[in-house]
Amino acid sequence: MNGIAGAYSEHVPIVHIVGCPSTSLQKAEALLHHTLGNGDFHVFRDMSYAISHKQVYLDDPATAPANIDGVLRDAYINARPVYLMIPTDMVSKEVSGMIDLI
């Protein structure tokens, strides 16, 4: 987090990609190491609000391509770190190659 905070203060665009447990484990509020022992899988994303320009959680294959493009664009345009959280089950989901960037 200190490195990301430093990049934020120095206007360095970094894409902080974070892997996390599957969406089903998160919905079940399983007590895994990606929580603080309370079942809240967004605690680390929430901690990054003050030190990243945008935070994106990919939980829907229909919106994932646009969300990825949007967060990359924001990092580049704003010269600030961004946070991209990807559940393990999303890496095998099929997504459309056609997105509307406007």
Q: What is the CATH number of the domain that holds 56?
A: 3.40.50.970
Instruction: Report, as an integer, the average pLDDT of 23-44.
Output: 78
Q: What is the pLDDT of residues 40-82, one digit of tens each?
A: 878 888 889 999 999 999 999 999 999 999 999 999 999 999 9
pLDDT of 101 reads 57
Does any domain span residue 69? Answer: yes
pLDDT of 53 reads 96
- Which among 65, 34, 36, 70 is positioned nearest to 55, based on CA atoms? 70
DSSP classification of residue 47: H
Number of domains in the chain: 1
Q: What is the pTM of this model?
A: 0.83
Q: 13 exposed, middle or buried (CB, 10 Å; 0-12, 13-18, 19+)?
A: middle
Does any domain span residue 47? Answer: yes
**% of the chain exceeding 90 in pLDDT:** 59
CA distances (Å), origin 102, targets 19, 56, 71, 80, 99: 28, 18, 14, 21, 9
